[in-house]
């Protein structure tokens, strides 16, 4: 779905089977650049896709992503940022990506 709005990052089965934080961050930043969705919710440090974000920063970045998406789609998304950072519950993470799209 996302390939309709941006070329990179590439949507690959391998990465989607257990999406790492950096991949999700790159997807959100690319979506923001292409559509304007989420403009202004992150500061410069949070926007830096190459930064080595600490665990708490990753959780906060994901929490903002999830909360914004929930507000727009009008439903609670059953996914926890801490589980995503730990690489757990990839099915729920992928559901979040579907709702983000």
| pLDDT tens, residue by residue, 3-29 | 788 888 988 899 999 999 999 999 999
Domains of the chain, CATH where assigned: 19-37+44-100 (1.10.418.50)
Q: How far apart are CA 77 and CA 49, in angstroms?
A: 24
pLDDT for 4 equals 81
Write down the pLDDT at residue 59.
Answer: 96
**Confidence category of residue 78, pLDDT binned at 50, 70, 90:** very high
Name the nearest CA neighbour of 31 among 68, 59, 60, 58. 68
Query: pLDDT tens digit string along 79-93?
Result: 999 999 999 999 999
Q: What distance in Å separates the CA atoms of residue 81 and residue 5, rounded to the nearest whole number?
A: 25
User: Using 50, 70 and 90 to split pLDDT, how confident is the model at 1?
Assistant: confident
Confidence of residue 50 (pLDDT cuts 50, 70, 90): confident
């Amino acid at each position: 779905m996302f390939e309709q709005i941006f070329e990179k990052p590439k949507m690959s089965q391998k990465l989607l089977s257990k999406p790492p934080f950096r991949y999700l961050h790159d997807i959100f930043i690319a979506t923001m650049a292409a559509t304007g969705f989420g403009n202004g919710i992150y500061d410069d440090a949070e926007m830096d896709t190459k930064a080595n974000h600490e665990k708490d920063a990753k959780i906060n970045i994901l929490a903002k992503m999830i909360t914004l998406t929930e507000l727009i789609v009008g439903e609670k998304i059953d996914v926890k940022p801490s589980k995503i950072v730990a690489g757990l519950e990839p099915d729920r993470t992928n559901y979040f990506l579907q709702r983000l799209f």
